[in-house]
Amino acid sequence: MNAKRIFRFMAVALMAFPLFTSCSDDEEETSTPAAEVVSGTYTGDVYMALSDTTYKDVTITISRKGDQEVAISSDFSSLEIKGLNVSENNGVYTFTKGANFFEKIAMSMGGKPGSEYSSDNSTGKQLNDAEAEGAVTNKKLVFTFGGKPGAMPMAVSYAFEGNKK
């Protein structure tokens, strides 16, 4: 009789078990916006292909403009790029040209004052076929940018590689 009672008690307990488990308030996983993750200051080197020159200790700043949009600036080459979309895939944050990309990209030839070109012609010197793209992985930025200054037949391109401070 005792065994029957124990068996019944266990059966009732097993059937009642789901009632004792609570439906937790599963909080939705809040992810940090991609633009916030990559925002910051990066220090590294810039390579200019046209002159085969490397510029050391260059600082590039990525500023968040929205959850998925950033602007990039640097004292080097008077660099200013607005409207870059950033997205994440498996820990790699990639910059792509956004709708406002050609709103402004400005750079100067080799960082020389007075040689500023801009895609919106705000400097009076047109930068044609402006391009910019890059990626951040583990706080390391790899970024390329360039364009054709004025009537130049070839593009001037730069490649930056550096780490987040």
Q: Six-digit token pair at 4?
A: 């029957």
What does the block give as tokens for 31? 């992810």
Give the residue among 104, 107, 92 at the shortest CA–CA distance from 145.
Answer: 107
**Average pLDDT in the 7-30 region?**
54
Contact 130, 105 (CB under 8 A): yes
Q: Most distant CA pair in the chain: distance in Å?
A: 101
Q: Which helix (H) or strand (E) holds 45?
A: strand 40-48
Q: What is the pLDDT of residue 102?
A: 47
Segment 101-128 shows an average pLDDT of 68
Span of 5-19, 34-48, 96-110, 132-146 with lowest mean pLDDT:
5-19
Residue positions counted in the chain: 165
**Structural domain boundaries in the chain:** 34-164
Residue 142 has pLDDT above 60, yes or no: yes
Say which residue, 81 or 27, is predicted with more confidence. Answer: 81
**pLDDT, position 51:** 84
Average pLDDT over residues 86-111: 71
Query: Which residues, listed in sequence order, are joined to residue 80 by a DSSP beta bridge?
Result: 73, 106
Identify the band that residue 120 occupies on the pLDDT scale cut at 50, 70 and 90.
confident
Written as one letter, the residue type at 89 is N
CATH node for 34-164: 2.40.160
